Amino acid sequence: MHTRTLGQGLEVSAIGLGGMGMSQGYGPNPGDRDEMIGVIRAAVDRGITFFDTAEVYGPYVNEELVGEALEPVRDQVVIATKFGWDIQGGKSVGLDSRPSQIRRVAEASLRRLRTDTIDLFYQHRVDPDVPIEDVAGAVGELVQEGKVRHFGLSEAAAATIRKAHAVFPVTAVQSEYSLWTRDPEAEVLPALAELGIGFVPFSPLGKGFFTGTVDTAAPFGAGDVRSGIPRFEAENRAANQALVDHVTQLAAARGATPGQIALAWLLAQHPWVVPIPGTRRLERLDENAGATGAALSADDVADLDGIVARLGVRGDRYNEVHMGYVGR
């Protein structure tokens, strides 16, 4: 596994592992807790050193899972978690990035993660009621105290990133980015390149769409987040299948899987881009890790760069409520 460097010199594996799906989001978990711990530890064995979680995943149970799994190898890995939600009765009911809340979340996350330091602490969504300068200052204090190593933002606008970075250096920005979600390209990625900040795409496989395994007609099961996303409505899935077909054809010609091609395209964008695909299966873990060896020519990358312009994408990536949380 190759390594890459995010902002502020934070070195991580070129492919990370997103933990959310092990606890929520994609219907009933096919394995038990011990199996998920096994998958996380298998990732370490394959050279993956970058693990992503959040207090709101579950809530709380995903941090506990990641903490238990990585405790024996804590000195070998980088753990990222997030703050920024008001969680009541086991559900997020809104945003809360007040400095006092940031500190409470940090202390609780440290306990759940079984560690003395959070390697990368993201604001999960920008809170319009709290100046980003106050957020950056609060995380900066936690860094000075040794409880956090690096500061990150998630789904933030370029202007917000600049304001935060002026107060305390931002190490990484995490946002949805993939072959069919190109929003960061216009303003966010140029700002990151200018400021020396790393970029961490979540849902790099389009929430499973670019694995080629999503049925274009069958309904999603109970508890599957995709059932409420416009882009995954049956009619839109059918229209978007042209994207997957194109990637599948290229994958066959390159001796790779569609998912590997989608990840390889992301890796080819910038040397400071580190995707974090999630999975609950060892075979998919191996496939994702193998994306670093997928050979894409300059012509392949250029072809994929223009895929959305040529084929189009039907449907928003979030419903109206969730779209209101991004790009602030």
Name 176's bridge partners: 202
How are beta strands 17-18 and 11-13 bridged, if at all? unpaired
Short-list 181, 323, 156, 172, CA closest to 262: 181
User: How many other C-beta atoms are found inside a 10 Å radius of the C-beta of residue 44?
Assistant: 18
User: How many other C-beta atoms are found inside a 10 Å radius of the C-beta of residue 319?
Assistant: 12
CA distance 231 to 220: 13
State how far Cα 77 lies from the chain centre: 17
Short-list 168, 130, 136, 142, CA closest to 328: 130
Q: Does residue 201 have a cis bond before it (omega within 30 degrees)?
A: no
What is the chain's Cα-based Rg?
19
Catalytic residue among 57, 122, 177, 318: 57
CA distances from 89 to 56, 58, 59, 60, 92 (A): 12, 12, 10, 12, 8
3-state percent helix, strand, coil for the chain, nearest multiple of 5: 45, 15, 35
Sign of the torsion formed by the C-alpha atoms of 269, 24, 48 and 110: positive
250, 169 Cβ separation under 8 angstroms: no
Residue 45's Cβ-count burial label (10 Å; 0-12, 13-18, 19+) is exposed
318 is catalytic: no
Token pair 């890790």 in the structure block, residue: 289
Report, as residue numbers or ranges, the catalytic residues.
Answer: 57
